[in-house]
Chain A
Amino acid sequence: MAESLQGLLVGFQVALAPSVLVYAILGCVIGTIVGVLPGLGPLAGISILLPISFGLPPTTAIVLLAGIYYGAMYGGSTTSILVRIPGEAASVVTCIDGYEMTRQGRAGPALAIAAIGSFVAGTVSVVALMLLAPPLARFALAFGPPEYLALLLMGLMVLSYISSGPMPKTLTMATLGLLLGMIGIDPMSGYNRFAGGVHELSDGLGVLPLAVGLFGVSEIMLAYRNQAMRPASRPRLAELMPSREDVRRSVGPIGRGTVIGFLIGIIPGSAHILSSFVSYAVEKRLSQHPEQFGKGAVEGVAGPESANNAAASGAFVPMLALGVPLGPVQAILIAVLMVHGVAPGPLLITQQPQLFWGFIASMYIGNLVLLVLNLPLVGLFVTFLRLPYSYLYPIILVCCIVGVYTVNSSMVDVLIMTAAGAAGYMLRRLQYDVAPVVLGFILSPMLEMAFRQSLAMSGGDYAIFLERPIAVTLLAIGAAVLLLGLVPPLWRRGLRRSQAAQ
């Protein structure tokens, strides 16, 4: 503990040096812009700016790129809330209740709660990262394919909470998502599935073009057709900040979202996208008025937005403590360290204390910068909504196309977005909810890979799922939750029967 404080002191000396501080702030600003631009996520932002960072000293380079990363996680919620377009993949859930709040003229409180939740989650996670990185990293390594599969199966259960529509429609949409997720090269056999010879499709459809199309483009088309779909009242500037009631209802979700997000963020793979979905499901399950979810519940913004920021910090644990990249963003950051001659590995913290503690301190500063940057911006963003729709919607569409195109410089991605927009429009006209499509799409490749990897490890023996303690525990918890979920309907049916008998 004393050692950590001493280290942190060194870290702040590093991070508060003007030359580093400037880049921390710059990273946060660029990250916010990247996050706000629909389609352009943290990975694309970092890849684009990577070459610039090669000319900087290693600590400064990492501080800049990490700033872009969590800045983008912060900014990703903005367009989700304002115009129902996810700024990055982890903000898809925020579209649901965040945009409903906007339609009720409460865009200000939604944005403010998202910023506050992100700040709290970011700061608490850095404390956890600082104090617990080495033991947590060893825990993360215990997650192999069987454990991952068990975790993802629990993720499937989240599906039922993500939509407020009838269950058959929700499951239909989830299945559609699972099927769409199978397009592309099968990593276990090398077959190119359902790609029709289009090379660009061999990496899959891409979650961002799909989500931006299903949520955002479809929304613009619906609102064009139907005036009643548009945000009901223009937001009043006086109601920018959340009410005391909003804050009271958000405290629990922010706390739980932080813990859930951080733990999921540590786990290898791309599970961090799921953190916001899991948080949403948990809040809906715990809420005393679950019927408000999907209709502008502030908990549905506070929880997921905290979770995805905590997950962003959690993902640094294995990178800093062990030198292993668990996600594509961390892989790039590790490459940056290597370009500067810093060998990333288990000895990083002891051999490069300045870098480690400077990085930690810059995350504290970054979170504060983002809060200071984002809260005043709430007013500006809300003002943006006051533009007449005939101007606003074309601008948004252009931003969507530019954002989605920039990620891979690929016209195919723009076409996917357009097709997803048309499909989303049809589905929503038919009263189907599109959120389960996105969740199914995210889960499907991960589920399949983890399942087949497990069987590759065991030589086809299914016992592998029961022989490993973490996997079997997770599966048991999942089974228990599933059975408990069945109890209330059965009990209610029994109650009705007994009432009918009387």
Chain B
Amino acid sequence: MRALMSGLLVLLCVAGVEAQAQDKFPSRPVTILLGYPPGGSTDTTARAIAPVLERILGQPVVIQNRPGAAALIGTQAVANAAPDGYTITVATTQLALLPAVDQIFGRPPSFTRDQFAPIALLSADPSVLFVHPSQPWRTFQELVDDARKRPGQIVYASGGLYGTTHLAIEIVLKATGTKMRHLPTAGGGPALTAVLGNHAALLAAHPAVGGPQARAGALRPLGTMGAKRVASLPDVPTLKELGYDAEYYQWNGLFTQAKVPEPIIAVWREAAAKAAKDPEFLQAMARVGSGTEYMDRDAFRPWWDADSKKTEDTVRAIGKVQ
């Protein structure tokens, strides 16, 4: 009898927990699934926010990297995950970029941008143009003048075809009406090395990547691609100041699937709003040299649409290479 009673009690408790669980999201661990490998900027951003979200949501936040095929494998996995709000991602331009690349190759897209719902923008850093210090250009205008004089002669390096470092320079070339030669490499590190060794004259890099090299005199920054100057490089003008409309950011935002119900997205938006102001998150981002830039969904969506359009237009303008 006693055993029966305690058994019933246990059952009641379990049922109670279950009922409660269905009321409140999240009631089990959530996953941040990433298309990029550990150590990259989406990964460090995810790792900066995960412990803070864990504290806010009261559930473990697990980070899972599924890199491969230029982030396509992981991003596709997010797109196809159950739309219950338990799988989110930190993503960047790849959401617009990869379908656009599929399109120019005439392949069916592996995912589309409208499969994703934005939650919040977490960080945005303007791309910065760096040149090798032995190059003659002291200012961005001198570079542009020289490039006009000898179109297709100056070599720039990128971390890979259609990647952010490639698109940034193509946007600059379009805004200035110039042409340069493209040296694609196998990633951000090799692109940096190519310019440090003067095998290419310039690259567009994240301020945290090129900044330390510039402070040591190994690179010369000529211009930044943001709306305002970069705090760590206060003397470097924006291209906007110089009269060129060439804005481009390396950013990271939180996304989930478009089919996730609105009340669950609301929980995420609230959590992201709190996390973005949390000193632990801000400190972690400052350490990796990432500029935090919070925007809630409603402000972020038009910003993301505009950025995606710029990405798609630039990819189409580049088209197939040879």
User: Which residues of chain A have a CB within 8 Å of any CB of chain B?
Assistant: 47, 50-51, 54, 141-145, 185, 187-192, 199-200, 202-203, 268-269, 318, 322-326, 330-332, 334-336, 338-341, 343-347, 408-410, 449, 453, 456-457, 459
Q: Are A346 and B160 in contact (CB under 8 A)?
A: no
CB nearest neighbor in B for A191: B105
Q: Give the one of B70, B72, B152, B199 with max A CB within 10 A.
A: B199
Q: Are A339 and B44 in contact (CB under 8 A)?
A: yes
The 7 closest A-B pairs by CB, nearest first: A345-B212, A335-B39, A144-B199, A341-B287, A141-B197, A346-B216, A325-B189
CB nearest neighbor in B for A322: B196
Q: Are B196 and A408 in contact (CB under 8 A)?
A: no
Q: Are A268 and B193 in contact (CB under 8 A)?
A: yes
B191 to chain A, nearest CB (A): 10
Tell me, in angstroms, the Cα distance from A335 to B48 when the chains sit together. 13
Q: Give the one of B38, B70, B152 with max A CB within 10 A.
A: B38
- Beyond contacts A187-B184, A199-B73, A332-B37: 15 other A-B pairs, Cβ-Cβ < 8 A, are A185-B69, A188-B161, A189-B321, A190-B101, A190-B105, A190-B161, A202-B72, A203-B69, A335-B44, A338-B288, A345-B218, A347-B212, A409-B66, A456-B181, A459-B152
Quick one: given A190-B101, A199-B110, A331-B39, are A142 and B76 in contact (CB under 8 Å)?
no
Asked if B162 is at the interface (CB within 8 A of a chain A CB), the reply is yes
Residues in chain B near residue A345, CB distance under 8 A: 212-213, 215-216, 218
Tell me, in angstroms, the Cα distance from A290 to B59 when the chains sit together. 64
Asked if B320 is at the interface (CB within 8 A of a chain A CB), the reply is yes
Interface digits, B175-204 against A, CB 8 Å rule (1 contact, 0 not)? Answer: 000000111111101101110110110000
Q: Are B186 and A343 in contact (CB under 8 A)?
A: no
Number of A-B contacts (CB under 8 A): 139
B150 to chain A, nearest CB (A): 11
Asked if B155 is at the interface (CB within 8 A of a chain A CB), the reply is yes
For B, the interface residue count at a CB cutoff of 8 angstroms equals: 58
From 82 to 117 in chain B, residues with beta carbon under 8 angstroms from any chain A beta carbon are 101, 105, 110
Q: Are A338 and B208 in contact (CB under 8 A)?
A: yes
Q: Are B162 and A190 in contact (CB under 8 A)?
A: yes
Q: Are B73 and A456 in contact (CB under 8 A)?
A: no
Residues in chain A near residue B40, CB distance under 8 A: 335
User: Which residues of chain B have a CB within 8 Å of any CB of chain A?
Assistant: 37-40, 43-44, 47, 63, 65-70, 72-73, 76, 101, 105, 110, 152-153, 155, 160-162, 181-187, 189-190, 192-194, 196-197, 199-200, 208, 211-213, 215-218, 284, 286-289, 320-322
Contact of B212 among A326, A344, A459 (CB under 8 A): A344
Q: Are A336 and B196 in contact (CB under 8 A)?
A: no
Residues in chain B near residue A457, CB distance under 8 A: 155, 181, 183, 199-200
Residues in chain A near residue B196, CB distance under 8 A: 141, 322, 324
CB nearest neighbor in B for A330: B189
Residues in chain B near residue A191, CB distance under 8 A: 105
Residues in chain A near residue B197, CB distance under 8 A: 141-144
Q: Give the one of A192, A318, A345, A347 with max B CB within 10 A.
A: A345
Residues in chain B near residue A339, CB distance under 8 A: 44, 47, 284, 287-288
Q: Are B320 and A332 in contact (CB under 8 A)?
A: no
Q: Are B321 and A190 in contact (CB under 8 A)?
A: yes
Tell me, in angstroms, the Cα distance from A456 to B73 when the chains sit together. 29
Residues in chain B near residue A200, CB distance under 8 A: 68-69, 73
B248 to chain A, nearest CB (A): 20
CB nearest neighbor in A for B161: A190
Q: Are B218 and A346 in contact (CB under 8 A)?
A: yes
CB nearest neighbor in B for A268: B193
Q: Are A456 and B182 in contact (CB under 8 A)?
A: yes
CB nearest neighbor in A for B162: A190
Contact of A453 among B153, B184, B218, B320 (CB under 8 A): B184
Can you pick out 20 interface pairs between chain A and chain B where the beta carbons lie within 8 Å of each other?
A: A51-B47, A185-B69, A187-B161, A187-B186, A200-B68, A203-B69, A322-B218, A331-B39, A331-B189, A332-B38, A334-B189, A335-B38, A335-B39, A336-B39, A339-B287, A341-B288, A346-B217, A410-B68, A457-B199, A459-B153
CB nearest neighbor in B for A184: B69
Tell me, in angstroms, the Cα distance from A459 to B46 when the chains sit together. 40
Residues in chain B near residue A190, CB distance under 8 A: 101, 105, 161-162, 320-321
Q: Are A268 and B181 in contact (CB under 8 A)?
A: no
Tell me, in angstroms, the Cα distance from A338 to B44 when the chains sit together. 9
CB nearest neighbor in A for B321: A189
Tell me, in angstroms, the Cα distance from A152 to B234 when the chains sit together. 43
Tell me, in angstroms, the Cα distance from A346 to B76 when the chains sit together. 38
Tell me, in angstroms, the Cα distance from A458 to B208 when the chains sit together. 30
A464 to chain B, nearest CB (A): 10
Quick one: given A332-B39, A335-B38, are A51 and B321 in contact (CB under 8 Å)?
no
